[in-house]
Chain A
Amino acid sequence: MRTKKTRQFAMLALAVATLFVVTGASHAATVTSNLITGLVNVTMPDGAVVPMAGFGLSGGSVSVPGPVLEANEGDTLVINLTNSLPVPITVVVHGQRIQNPTPVDVGGRVLSFVPHSGSFTFPNLKAGTYLYESGTHPAVEVPMGLYGVLIVRPATPGQAYNDPVSAYDTEHVVVFSDVDPVLNTMVRTGRYGSALYPSTVKYAPKYFLVNGKAYPQTVPMTANNGDRVLLRLVNAGNRDYAPTLNGLYSMVIAEDGNLLPFPENDLAVMLPAGKTKDVIVTPGADTRYTLYDRRLNLSNAGTAGVGGILTFLEVGTVPPLSPLKKARTRR
C-alpha cells in the first residue's frame, strides 16, 4: 500500500515536472535568422573550381554548408530569406513543423514544398540536430550547396537532449555531402535540363565533402582526452555514408532529432541521405583519430592520393601530420 502511494506521488511529481516544462516552453523566445543566398566558387583539392550556391547570414558571405543556426527548445524560429539567386529559393527544416506548409505547384508538379516567401516560421522547436535546405527543386538546389544545420538546445545546458545520456563536454557539427561538378556547371551556365544534362537521374558525384571540404582540405576537430565528444552527424548529400572513427566506438544516442530508447554502439554509423544522428565518442588517448567514410568515398574525382570524406578528431596535443615522414623505429 505504501509502495503504491509512493508510486502515485512519484507520478504526481512527474506530472508537475511535465507541467513545468510545458510552462517553460510557453515562455519561449522568437529567434530570428536573417539568411541570404548567393553564388560561391569552391576550389577542390585537385584544383577544380566548382560553381556552387550557398546560404549565409545577412551582412556576411555565403558558404557550403550554410551557417549553423541555433535556438532553444520551444522557441519559434523565423528565417527571413533575402534571395539574390535568379530562381525561387525556400527553406525547410526536416523534422520541425513549419507554420505554412502549402506547396507550390507549377503546371501540376510540385516545385516547392512551402510557399515562395521571404519568411519561414517554425514554431515550438524540438530539441536535437536538424538539416535545413532549400525546399524548392531540391534535386538541383540541394546539391548546388543550399543546406545547413539547425541545433535546438534543450533546457539543460551541456546536453543535446533532455536526458543525461546526451551529456557532452565538446561538440562538433559534421555535415556530409557530395558534388557532381557537371551538374553544378550545367546549372550555373544555364544548360541544366538540356540534352547535355537533362535531369539528376544520372547524378554522379566526384567529390565527397565533410563540412564542405574534401580531404586534405578538411579541418580537423579537437577534443580533450576523456571528453564525451558529441558529434552531430548530418547527411546533406545524395549518397548514403557510413562514418567511422578509427579506434573508437560511436555511441549513437539519437536519430532525426529523436532520442533512442537505448544507445547503440557502432563501428560504422549508417547515415542515409537526409538523416541526422547524434553520437558520443569518448577518446581515451592523446592521439589523432581518423574519421572517414567506411563506404570508402575517399577519392577526389579519381586524382592520385587520398581524398573525400576523411578528417581527424585531434585529442590533446598531437604532432603535425606528415604522411610521408618515416616513422620512428622501435630501436
Chain B
Amino acid sequence: MVFPGQSGVVAAEVTAPTQQGLLTLEALPGGTVSYSFTPTEPGTYYYQSGTNMDKQVQLGLFGAIIVRPSVAPFNDGHHAYNHSDSQFDREFLFLLSEMDVNHHEMWEFGAPVDTTTFFPVYWFINGRNAPDTMFAAGAPWLPSQPYNCMPMMEPGERLLMRVIGIGRDMHPFHHHGNHSRIIAENGRLLESTPGAGADLSREVFTIHVVPGKTVDAIFTWTGEGLGWDIYGTGPGYEHDCMDGNGDNFDDMTHEYCPDHGKPFPVILPTKKELTFGGFWSGSPFLGDTGSLPPGEGGLNPWAGYTYMWHSHNEKEMTNNDVFPGGMMTMLIVVPPGSMMMMAE
C-alpha cells in the first residue's frame, strides 16, 4: 500500500511472506505488512495498492483518507484545514473511478490482462454507479458498496466537496446549481504564504479531476438572483422576508429578500402535459408539494430543489451503454430545518 501525501511511512513485515516491491514492502498472499505514519497535515488524501497498479488499483484496491485539523478552534469537525476559510456545514466525498469490465473478467478467469487496451464502461462515485449513488449508505442489497453519495444541504450552507481522482482517467465533475470555490488541492490550502488562508482559491463550475490528485471545494446555494420568490406567491403562500442582519437573506428561511414576492415567471403545464421524474414534488416552490398522479414522485419528500452533479463527459453517465447511470448523483437543497428533522 502507498499513501500519497503522507511522509515518513514505515512499512514492516508482521507475518511472512512479504517482499520489497517497486514502491514499498509488499504483502505476498498470506503475508501481513504494517504501514505506519503520523499524519501531520490536515486534508483529503487517498491510499491505494502500490503493486501491479495498472491491475490492482483498477480492481478496486483504493480508498480515501481524511485528516482532520488539530488546532483549536478548527478541530470542531467543521473545518477542513487549520484556517477559517475551510469552514463547512456539511461535507461529502466524491471518490471517482472507472472500470473496464473486460479486464475484470479476464482477471477472474486467470487470463493475462493487457491493460494498454483499457476501455472503461462503468463510472463510479464512492464505488457506486448511478442510480445506486443515491441510495442509502449501507444499503443491504449493496453489501460490498457501503458508501453512497447524495449531497444534501440547506440554503446558505457551506458544503465541502472532497474530490479524489482514483482511477486512470480525468473526469470533468460538473456541479449544477452554483459555482464552487476550490480552496485546497492535494491536501494543501491554496495559500500564497503559510497562514494566509485560501487566498489563491478560485471559482469553478466543473472540477477537473486528475488521477492521483485531490480537490477540496466549498459549494454554496442561496437562490440569490433567481428573479422569483422560492417560497411562492399568491393565496396560500403568504410569508415574510425578515432580514435582520442586513445580508439580503431572511434570517430563518434564507430567502433572498430582493426577490421576495416576485411571481414564478413560468406558466406550468397541466399534469396531462407532463412526464414525471421521481424528484418532482408537484410544486416549483421550496418545501412545497403539489398533487401528483398516483405512483409519481416520492423521492423528494422534503420538496427540495434537485441539481444533477455528474461527469460532464456525458458518456460517463452510462452503465455499460445504458443511460442514465455512471458518474452521477443529485444535490438536494432542502428547506431550512429539514436536515435537523432527518437527523432525528
Give A contacts to B, CB under 8 Å: 204-206, 208, 240, 242, 244, 246-247, 249, 262, 264-268, 270, 284, 290, 292, 294-299, 301-302, 304, 306, 308, 310, 321-327, 329-330
Chain B residue nearest to A244 in the complex (CB): B212
* Stretch of B46-54, B232-240, B244-252, B291-299 with 4 or more beta carbons under 8 angstroms from chain A: B46-54
User: From residue 1 to 58 of chain B, which have CB atoms closer than 8 A to chain A?
Assistant: 2, 4-5, 7, 9, 12-13, 16-25, 50, 52-54, 57-58
Take A296-B58, A296-B115, A298-B54 as given contacts and tell me if A290 and B200 are in contact as well, using a CB distance cutoff of 8 Å: no
A294-B211, A301-B116 provided; 13 other pairs, C-beta below 8 A?
A206-B116, A208-B116, A242-B210, A246-B4, A266-B213, A267-B212, A268-B210, A268-B212, A270-B213, A284-B7, A290-B22, A296-B53, A330-B13
Chain A proximity mask over B219-246: 1 for CB below 8 Å, otherwise 0: 0000000000000000000000000000
- Asked whether B18 lies within 8 Å of A296 as measured between CB atoms, the reply is no
- Asked whether B168 lies within 8 Å of A290 as measured between CB atoms, the reply is no
- Asked whether B16 lies within 8 Å of A306 as measured between CB atoms, the reply is no
Take A244-B212, A299-B115, A326-B19 as given contacts and tell me if A249 and B54 are in contact as well, using a CB distance cutoff of 8 Å: no
- Asked whether B114 lies within 8 Å of A296 as measured between CB atoms, the reply is no
- Asked whether A306 lies within 8 Å of B52 as measured between CB atoms, the reply is yes
Chain A proximity mask over B315-327: 1 for CB below 8 Å, otherwise 0: 0000000000000
- Report the separation of the CA atoms of residues A321 and B7 in the bound assembly, to the nearest whole angstrom: 22
B89 at the interface (CB under 8 A from A): no
- Asked whether B213 lies within 8 Å of A262 as measured between CB atoms, the reply is no
- Report the separation of the CA atoms of residues A326 and B16 in the bound assembly, to the nearest whole angstrom: 9
Name the distance in Å between A159's Cβ and chain B's nearest Cβ: 21
Cross-chain pairs A/B with CB under 8 angstroms, 12 sampled: A265-B185, A267-B212, A268-B211, A268-B213, A270-B170, A292-B53, A294-B210, A297-B54, A298-B52, A302-B113, A304-B112, A326-B20
- Report the separation of the CA atoms of residues A206 and B52 in the bound assembly, to the nearest whole angstrom: 17
Give B contacts to A, CB under 8 Å: 2, 4-5, 7, 9, 12-13, 16-25, 50, 52-54, 57-58, 112-117, 165, 168-170, 185-188, 192, 200, 208, 210-214
Tally A-B pairs: CB < 8 A: 114
- Asked whether A329 lies within 8 Å of B212 as measured between CB atoms, the reply is no
Chain B residue nearest to A326 in the complex (CB): B19
- Among B2, B18, B20, B58, the residue within 8 A (CB) of A322 is B20
- Report the separation of the CA atoms of residues A92 and B211 in the bound assembly, to the nearest whole angstrom: 31
- Report the separation of the CA atoms of residues A267 and B44 in the bound assembly, to the nearest whole angstrom: 12
A295 neighbours in B (Cβ, 8 Å): 168-169, 211
Name the distance in Å between B199's Cβ and chain A's nearest Cβ: 9
Name the distance in Å between B291's Cβ and chain A's nearest Cβ: 50
B168 neighbours in A (Cβ, 8 Å): 295-296
- Asked whether B115 lies within 8 Å of A298 as measured between CB atoms, the reply is yes
A208 neighbours in B (Cβ, 8 Å): 116
- Report the separation of the CA atoms of residues A145 and B116 in the bound assembly, to the nearest whole angstrom: 20
- Asked whether A326 lies within 8 Å of B18 as measured between CB atoms, the reply is yes
- Asked whether B114 lies within 8 Å of A302 as measured between CB atoms, the reply is yes
Name the distance in Å between B243's Cβ and chain A's nearest Cβ: 38
In this complex, the member of B12, B24, B213, B214 whose beta carbon has the largest number of chain A beta carbons within 10 angstroms is B213
Take A295-B168, A298-B53, A325-B20 as given contacts and tell me if A270 and B116 are in contact as well, using a CB distance cutoff of 8 Å: no
- Asked whether A267 lies within 8 Å of B214 as measured between CB atoms, the reply is yes
B5 neighbours in A (Cβ, 8 Å): 249, 267
- Asked whether B53 lies within 8 Å of A266 as measured between CB atoms, the reply is no
B165 neighbours in A (Cβ, 8 Å): 268
Name the distance in Å between A61's Cβ and chain B's nearest Cβ: 29
Take A240-B170, A246-B2 as given contacts and tell me if A296 and B211 are in contact as well, using a CB distance cutoff of 8 Å: yes
Name the distance in Å between B114's Cβ and chain A's nearest Cβ: 3
- Report the separation of the CA atoms of residues A131 and B113 in the bound assembly, to the nearest whole angstrom: 34
A204 neighbours in B (Cβ, 8 Å): 116-117
- Report the separation of the CA atoms of residues A118 and B90 in the bound assembly, to the nearest whole angstrom: 64
Chain A residue nearest to B24 in the complex (CB): A246
- Asked whether A296 lies within 8 Å of B200 as measured between CB atoms, the reply is no
Name the distance in Å between B109's Cβ and chain A's nearest Cβ: 15
Chain A residue nearest to B34 in the complex (CB): A330
